[in-house]
A and B are shown apart, each in its own frame.
Chain A
């Protein structure tokens, strides 16, 4: 297995006189064929990680202060827009959360699919159309030829998300980043879309990174998991390890908080308090104000992401 993507010591901070850290020392690798999940609550930095990889961080307000993002042997940090444009859509493709807003409402589906080919290939019109229809068939869109002429508003949410998948797959990317791909969809439609993603993954041996807050989606569709909290990775491991033997108190709390695991009406497990604000990040372990087992050491000293087995890491003083 080869490494497709490696993120090394990535730090992202806000700009300004008093910079606040948004991502702190994020380190991980994606091996070819993996389906890696990055989970966390809002504000944990999971979307920022993806935007950094894609070079799509907001132009003002935040910046990468240090670290490397290695796509095979290229370091993407500091790539110009032109250079990134050649990579986005061809080597790394993305599916965003909102299928309602991520398609351009004033162009047809066919037009938006063709754009990818125009940019990255030298197909002629005929090839583009043929390939577009093929792609729509792959994502199980009924009568694809007709749908090429449709505008986004004529399609349902699930259909739009499938178009997004088709656009993402157009150039057989090495890596597919899916940022909350099914969060905006109803459960029966979510099941359809996840089914398509799994099929395509098996067919093309695609490498995927799924960003989500839905632990059940992770449990069913991914093989490796990264748990993020307040801009840091707090735990990583295989999906079985994370769900059966979670080591970090945050991961444990998160899994126990899901309703429907215990008996109905029984009190749910809760994690006290709220996710910290980026300008009031707790000292020491960032989770200590909400942690049940925090001690003096946790308040004073920041734990490191210690490796406990191969591929398994935990950032906590007490599980080691």
Chain B
């Protein structure tokens, strides 16, 4: 499955990334509490692969993506891009790194400036990075637009003249302009209809092959993730609870949350539906303001035991690539 990954060099390494948001209260506006949006998240992404982060709303998947780009400054942890610690860079050094990591946002309606033409929107990154003369810039823009299935005749139009799918293509073009190595795709197809979604997923895969791109794909849609990923990390309340090759996660999930999450997805295929028994979780995702003690999933876990309420589970290895954080898996209770 990883056949197209020629070298298995790590392009991105995230170590113990955490992000707290302080809550201020009282007359003096002192920090009274901290919301832990992301807690000790570590993973690595190999060159040429698609690494997906899945989870429900509020699990910290987008915050993780933003922290990697330093669009949000992390509280602690390290992010290495090609073995370079990017948290140590200053503003100017960071500018150079930004052309290597780009992002595609979820909402194609609000991520393009409505007052600018497509030409102006796409020129901006090239001008900022001193790409060359006006005609060189236009040439580059047109070649990228053609790559995403649009053309020169679209250049002088405004974003409102495009459909959602086309706008997302413009968003992709913008991310490609500076020849990045890594693209963070933050729910790139969630706002689109199924028939348009499949066009864009194909486009993303074609571009990956053609340009040797690496994707960090953030999504809540498990069928999309299953389709596009090489490896998957499942997040719950700011932590990675399970991580491994896509096939293993989907065919043989270990963590009770992953199992429940996968079984909750409605399925078109009747045979799959019959094999997989649905696990319906009780209650809602707890507030990250006061997360449950021990394993944060124990309040909703159908298998929770005493130990789960007291101690947070350590990460354990199922095999070399597949890790899971659960006491019961570790003890061999759930296999």
Q: Which residues of A contact B (CB under 8 A)?
A: 41-42, 142, 156, 158-159, 186-192, 194-195, 213-217, 219-221, 243, 253-255, 257-261, 264-265, 267-272, 274-275
Q: Which of A213, A243, A265, A269 is within 8 Å of B1, CB to CB?
A: A265
Collect the chain A residues with CB atoms within 8 Å of residue B281's CB: 188, 191-192
A residues in contact with B196, CB < 8 Å: 41, 274
B72 within 8 A of A: no
Top 7 A-B residue pairs of the complex, sorted by shortest distance between their CB atoms: A260-B223, A216-B266, A259-B227, A186-B56, A268-B198, A41-B193, A191-B264
Residue of B nearest to A277 (CB): B163
Instruction: Enumerate chain A residues within 8 angstroms of B226, measured Cβ to Cβ.
Output: 259-260, 264
Closest A residue, CB atoms, query B226: A260
Is B273 in the interface zone, CB < 8 Å from A? Answer: yes
Contact of B201 among A213, A215, A259 (CB under 8 A): A259
Query: CB-CB < 8 A to A271: which residues of B?
Result: 195, 198
Distance in Å from the Cβ of A163 to the closest Cβ of chain B?
Answer: 13
Q: Is B268 an interface residue (CB 8 A)?
A: yes
Give the chain B neighbours of A270 by CB distance below 8 A. 195, 198-199, 202
Mask, B84-99, CB within 8 Å of A = 1, is 0000000000000000
Cβ 8 A contact of B284, one of A159, A191, A269? A159
The contact of B268 among A159, A191, A243, by CB within 8 Å, is A243
Q: Give the docked Cα–Cα distance between A42 and B260 (Å).
A: 30
For chain B, the bracket of interface size reads 35 or more
- Say which residue of A213, A221, A265 sits within 8 Å of B205 (CB atoms): A265
- The one of B198, B247, B278 in contact with A264, judged by C-beta atoms closer than 8 angstroms, is B247
CB within 8 Å for A258 and B266 given contacts A188-B261, A192-B281, A270-B202: no
- Bound Cα distance A258, B266 (Å): 12
Whether the Cβ atoms of A255 and B227 lie closer than 8 Å is: no
A267 CA to B215 CA in the complex, in Å? 17
Q: What is the CA–CA distance of A71 and B86 in the complex, to the nearest angstrom?
A: 65
Given A190-B264, A219-B268, is A41 in contact with B228 using a C-beta cutoff of 8 Å?
no
| Residue in A142, A158, A190, A261 whose Cβ sees the most chain B Cβ within 10 Å | A261
Cβ-defined partner of A274 (8 Å) among B165, B201, B224: B165
Q: Smallest CB-CB separation from B260: which chain A residue?
A: A188
Contact with A along B149-178 (1 / 0, CB 8 A): 000000000000001111000000000000
A42, A243, A255: the one within 8 Å of B193 (CB): A42
- Nearest CB of A to B166, in Å: 7
In the complex, which residues of chain A have a beta carbon less than 8 angstroms from the beta carbon of B266? 190, 194, 214, 216-217, 219-221
> How many angstroms between the C-alpha atoms of A267 and B204 in the bound complex?
11
Q: Is the CB of B280 closer than 8 A to any CB of chain A?
A: yes
A195 to chain B, nearest CB (A): 6
A sample of 10 cross-chain residue pairs with beta-carbon separation below 8 angstroms, ordered by A number, consists of: A188-B260, A188-B264, A188-B281, A189-B56, A192-B280, A195-B280, A257-B198, A259-B198, A264-B226, A274-B163
Pairwise interchain contact B194-A254, C-beta atoms closer than 8 A: yes
CB distance from B171 to the nearest CB of A (A): 16
Q: Given A187-B261, A215-B268, A274-B165, A258–B1 Cβ distance below 8 Å? A: no
Q: Roughly how many angstroms separate A294 CA and B167 CA in the complex, as a whole number?
A: 28
By a CB distance below 8 angstroms, the chain A residues around B263 are: 191
A216 to B165, CA, bound (A): 22
**A260 proximity list for chain B (CB < 8 A):** 222-224, 226-227
The yes or no answer to B116 lying at the interface (CB within 8 A) is no
| Least Cβ–Cβ distance between B90 and chain A, in angstroms | 39
A186-B220, A216-B265, A219-B267 known; A275 vs B193 contact (CB < 8 Å): yes
Cβ–Cβ < 8 Å partners of A213 in chain B: 193-194
Bound together, the chains give a CA A243 to CA B267 distance in angstroms of 12
A268 and B280 contact, CB distance less than 8 A: no
Residues on the B chain within 8 Å of A217, using CB: 266
Chain A residues contacting B227 (CB-CB under 8 Å) are 259-260, 264-265, 268
* CB atoms of A220 and B246 under 8 A apart: no
Residues of B within 8 A of A257 (CB): 194-195, 197-198
Given contacts A159-B284, A187-B264, A259-B227, contact A253 B57 (CB under 8 A): no
Residues of A contacting B164 in the complex (Cβ-Cβ under 8 angstroms): 42
Q: Does B270 contact A (CB under 8 A)?
A: yes
